[in-house]
Structure 1
Amino acid sequence: MSTQTPAPASGAASAGPATGRRTADPIPGRIRAKRSPRPGTWISAVIVALVALGLINFLITNPVFDWPTVATYILDVKVVQGVGWTLLITVLAMVLGTVVALAAAIMRRSENPVLRGVSWAYIFIFRGTPVYTQLVFWGLFTVIVPKIALGVPFGPEWFSFSTRDYFPAFWAAVVGLGLNEGAYLAEIIRSGLNSVDKGQTEASKALGMGNGNILRRIIIPQAMRVIVPPLGNETIGMLKT
């Protein structure tokens, strides 16, 4: 009984053992589509590049800007110190705002109406008033509240201290910016917490986990993928503020 080797299909290049050449296309008759030319894209790119070069040339060659004088002021000691203080206040305010926002978001999710009401009022007030108005209030806090005392209501004081000794302008800025940012971050964090499927919580409770462990080990880690991107945007906005 004899066997015959089938001939290769038309349009496909065969690779024989003598030649050692590879098959050009394993799928015979494949249609190789070519992208249609897009002259509009290149024309737009050329126009944008010319406009950008013209703007750069305008900024460099225009004598009105007087770049040496600008560099002198930008590199001034006071300006450099101001940049350092700005970065420090940004970091501290974001840390304070994140902590406050996490607490407010958890309170908004609580079944207790008092916790929900306090959280809602905080978010409503601090989001509904301009941040500069709030900074004026915190800047005058030592005038409005010159002394803080702890003790029995309508009775003797255990101890008291002057707010001017512990609440300088630096901390007034940190507290003002942090509380304002916390009101905005609270809604971001709450949205992130709500994005986690409720089945995760139900499965965790079925395993005997408490609400605190569920929040720390199940809910918050999964919610971070939703929280982190807008948190970065808020940090940039805080730096500008």
Structure 2
Amino acid sequence: MPSSRESPGAAVTLADVPGPVPEPGPAGPPPTEKPPAAQRVLPLRRPGRWLAAAVVLVLVAQIVHGLVTNPFYQWDRFAYWFLRPAVLDGLLVTLEVTFLSAVLGLLGGVLLALARLSPSPVLRTVSWFYLWLFRSVPLIVVLLFLYNFSALYQTVSLGIPFGPAFFTFDENRLATDMAVAVVGLSLHEAAYASEVVRGGILSVDQGQHEAAAALGLPKRYQFLRIVLPQALRSFVPNYVNQLIGLIKATSLVFYVSLLDLFGAAQSMSSTYPGDIVPLLLVATVWYLILTSVVSVVQFYVERRSSRGALRTLPPTPWQRLRTGAAELRVRARRETAS
């Protein structure tokens, strides 16, 4: 008679399991499932986007067609004036005034920004007053005032206030048309560049300043090696925008008798009144070329200054072109295979 309690080590056989006993199947490899069929992923259709793109393309085509076919623009005269020596001489004057004003204005802007951030109340007050004055007065007024500066002061001297003068300059010899243009643009540019520089410095995290000071680094080393490289990321786009505005602002030096690009076009249009529109187009295209070159330089400077801040650098136009060509080739192969 079997015992009602089995020992812990007793083995359990198929006979002990209630229910029918399964029959052994034929020996062989386990069945394999078929892989799901590859399906092509279709992008979501956006008819509104295609409609907007079609409308924009139609408008652009109409504008281009109007520019090309309208005889009022006189494109043959435009081609005649585009590389004339008078226009190129004015272009060189524009480049010279822009370069000198940009360099002097940036140096002045850095000094004003550092004075604005200085703990000295005198430097902060003088810097604030300078910004308030030159941001309030229009540039054309500054240029005209400097152009007529000799009527107010015939000589300029450096020395002790209310005392003897050490150096005396003849203002009539110093105030050439080029000097008036460069000084006026530089004074005006420094006021705006200082705010750009100050904004870039303030964008650097305060912990970076504190860490540099804790290491005992000199102030000059802290600014050049730690603060400035990080401030460039926010400084470059804003200052390049200001530089583009400076290129266009050089057209005002025509009013102080300096024949820049716009002044040359304006002078030629007074001699040839029938070519006013072609000469204005010549000046417009040259300004577009100059600002486009500055924008290209801005892209590569921003790309270089963003190293260490971005995981992946933005692709250059050449890299985008190669990537787009490679994607087109892959797409063409897929369509051919399907």
Query: TM-score normalised by the shorter chain: which range applies?
Result: 0.7 to 0.9
1:87-236 alignment to 2 at 5 Å?
Answer: 87-236=95-244
Q: Which among 47, 64, 68 is matched to residue 60 of structure 1?
A: 68
Report SS of the residue matched to 1:40: helix
Is 1:38 aligned with 2:46? yes
Which residue identity does 1:82 align to in structure 2? G
Distance between the aligned counterparts of 1:151 and 1:51, measured in 2? 65
Is contact 2:147–2:175 with CA below 8 Å preserved after alignment? no
Distance between the aligned counterparts of 2:63 and 2:81, measured in 1? 23
Deviation at 1:106, TM superposition (A): 0.7
Q: Extract unaligned runs of 5+ from structure 2.
A: 1-27, 250-338
Give RMSD over aligned pairs: 2.2
Distance between the aligned counterparts of 1:78 and 1:11, measured in 2? 75
Distance between the aligned counterparts of 1:111 and 1:44, measured in 2? 55
Deviation at 1:214, TM superposition (A): 1.2
Distance between the aligned counterparts of 1:203 and 1:45, measured in 2? 51
Distance between the aligned counterparts of 1:53 and 1:69, measured in 2? 23
Identity %: 38
Is contact 2:97–2:181 with CA below 8 Å preserved after alignment? yes
Deviation at 1:211, TM superposition (A): 1.9
Which structure's CA Rg is the greater one? Answer: 2
User: For residue 49 of structure 1, what is the aligned residue in structure 2?
Assistant: 57
Change (3 A) 1:232 1:154: closer
Distance between the aligned counterparts of 1:10 and 1:185, measured in 2? 69
60-69 or 194-203: bigger deviation = 60-69
Change (3 A) 1:151 1:184: closer
91-100 or 52-61: bigger deviation = 52-61
Deviation at 1:121, TM superposition (A): 0.5
61-70 or 225-234: bigger deviation = 61-70
Change (3 A) 1:102 1:9: farther
Report SS of the residue matched to 1:37: coil
Size of the aligned set, in residue pairs, is 222
Is 1:82 aligned with 2:93? no
Change (3 A) 1:152 1:235: closer
Deviation at 1:8, TM superposition (A): 5.1
Superposed CA deviations along residues 196-237 of structure 1, whole A, max 9, x for unmatched, are 111111111111112222112211121011100111111111
Change (3 A) 1:153 1:121: closer
Which residue identity does 2:128 align to in structure 1? W
Report SS of the residue matched to 2:158: strand
